[in-house]
Amino acid sequence: MKKLLLASLSLVCLTASAAKQPNMLFMLTDDHAVQSIGCFGTIFDQYDPTPNLDKLASEGVKFVNTFVNNSICSPSRAAILTGKYSHKNGVRTWEEFDGSQQTFPKLLQKAGYYTVLVGKWHLKSDPTGFDEWTILPGQGEYYEPKFLDAEHDKKNPIQKHGYVSEVITRMAEETIRNRDKNKPLAIFVHHKTVHIPFLWDERENDWLEGETLPEPSTLRDTWKGRPAIATAHNKVPNIEMLHKKFVDGIKQKGKKRFSDPAEKDMTTQGKSVCRYPYYLKSYLRTARSIDRSMGELLQVLDDEKMTDNTVVVYMSDQGFYLGEHGMSDKRWAYEESMRTPLIIKHPQGVKGAAVESFAMNLDLAPTLLSLAGAKVPSDMQGLSLAPFLEGRTPDDWRDNVYYRYYDSKGYNIPQHQAVRTATHKLIYFPEADRYELFNLKVDPVEMNNLAGKPEYRETLKKMQAKLAAAKKEVGDTDADIYPIKR
């Protein structure tokens, strides 16, 4: 069991009473990679990419081993809302979310909260459980975005002017300032950023200009021993493919399109290396608007004298590849994809803590309910993280994470299941009946597949048993090869 590392050793109890329920600010972003955030450790540290998120972590708790159950936007968001795995909430790929089911915003409403959602929803059905909601249609646009609410549909959207992160921040700020002070507020600020295509706020035009960005150690990976990637490397989202499809053809204001005639004679790896600097600068510039938004909203909490009674949560809906293994996008059960950032600041909680115990996106629902003093339903599969905010680690905390990816029709990435422990990870690809096994202690970047090596036969058997047990424990009875329709 990993230990809780604390800057403060004092133990507190954060369970709310009805008279002292904290306000809640929950910021959810899209595809924000852990490895691009300063407080989690980043090769871009010299550029100070996330000063406001770093400050938030210094005043609260960062969960350094947070994982998602299914690394695609809609399934992860459904898991966050329900505290349940994909096979329980019904969103395995791109299905419409059943808004009639139990969600934690609905339970916060019942506990007396005024709930507001602004930004990206991406679950097809209209939001439920919110007293007010204003959402982007689908992915939304980076510039001059349109929005929908209970009175405005796609035929009659609300037109907003400006850059999308700035627009969402201003709407959230207005909600906070004009809140009903007789009720605790739970505001959900869901940014579109930093989803492809990476179109940044013009204020970032000069940031990183002329800089030579460091490269991840695995940028030139040839995927030896990992046939799930290697056999389809020209079809799965490597840097060159995804960048060319979504970014190269879109003209960024004040910037030239990427162009290198030498690409035609390069290998796939060579093309990805060639595009890496442009790709990463575009990504980091776009992500910077998230950090600015957090800083501005924290200032609003100060202005409104709410800081001492507001829980602040920062999370991304999944991880993202920033060139590691020459890859882009997410979806895989490899570390960069399934690991996601999570920071929680409770005004009466411990400060500057780094929790190494496993957290999951499923845990947000029971955590915020428990901090609100509301009952956590027994059918929620996530666990409350409140004990960690109090400075303690439960004796019976989870020792593994179960992961399942269903969308075999998206980017040619095969369906797979995985279990991750503190020391190892096993990934099973049922269509090929193939395993990948990694010793994360000696190979944290997952370059050396041990599954076919005789000396690791016993380790493989143990991890296969762990995968089967994890699958059974969460009640996943779906067929190994699930029939997906799109």
Tens digit of each residue's pLDDT (9 = 90 or more) over 95-125: 999 999 999 999 999 999 999 999 999 999 9
Q: Are 444 and 335 within 8 A, CB to CB?
A: yes
pLDDT value at 459 more than 80: yes
Task: Kindly tell me the burial class for residue 209, based on how many C-beta atoms sit within 10 Å of its own C-beta (0-12, 13-18, 19 or more).
Answer: exposed
Crossing angle of helices 364-371 and 73-82, rounded to 10°:
30
pLDDT at 486: 66
221-276 pLDDT, tens per residue?
Answer: 989 999 888 776 667 888 887 777 666 545 555 555 666 666 777 887 888 888 89
Question: Nearest to residue 15, comparing CAs of 389, 463, 394?
Answer: 389
Identify the residue with better confidence: 53 or 2: 53
Q: How many helices (H) and strands (E) does the chain have?
A: 12, 17
The one-letter code for the residue type at 294 is: M
Average pLDDT, integer, range 285-304: 98
The one-letter code for the residue type at 187 is: I
Q: Give the three-state DSSP class for 158.
A: strand
408-440 pLDDT, tens per residue?
Answer: 887 889 999 999 999 999 999 999 999 999 999
Q: Residue 394 is encoded by which pair of tokens?
A: 């439960």
pLDDT value at 1 more than 50: no
The one-letter code for the residue type at 165 is: S
pLDDT at 9: 40
Question: Nearest to residue 188, comparing CAs of 385, 28, 338?
Answer: 28
Q: How far apart are CA 195 and CA 87, in angstroms?
A: 25
First and final C-alpha spacing in the chain: 41
pTM: 0.95
Q: Residue 5 is encoded by which pair of tokens?
A: 């590392």
CA 256 to chain centre: 30
Task: Kindly tell me the burial class for residue 234, based on how many C-beta atoms sit within 10 Å of its own C-beta (0-12, 13-18, 19 or more).
Answer: exposed
pLDDT at 268: 79
Sequence-ordered alpha helix ranges (H) in 304-429: 335-338, 364-371, 386-389
172-208 pLDDT, tens per residue?
Answer: 999 999 999 999 999 999 999 999 999 999 999 999 9
Q: Residue 214 is encoded by which pair of tokens?
A: 């460091």
Report CA-CA distances (Å) from 86 to 81, 125, 403.
Answer: 11, 16, 10
Element (H, E) at 227: helix 227-230
Q: How far apart are CA 106 and CA 113, in angstroms?
A: 9
Report CA-CA distances (Å) from 378 to 82, 306, 370.
Answer: 12, 32, 13
Which phi and psi angles does 35 have, rounded to 5°?
-75, 5
pLDDT value at 60 more than 50: yes
The one-character DSSP state at 143 is B
Q: Give the three-state DSSP class for 77.
A: helix
Which phi and psi angles does 361 have, rounded to 5°?
-60, -25
Q: What distance separates the 2 farthest-apart alpha carbons in the chain?
A: 68
Domains and CATH numbers, the chain: 4-199+280-399 (3.40.720.10), 402-473 (3.30.1120)
pLDDT at 259: 64
pLDDT at 19: 55
pLDDT value at 398 more than 60: yes
pLDDT at 5: 44
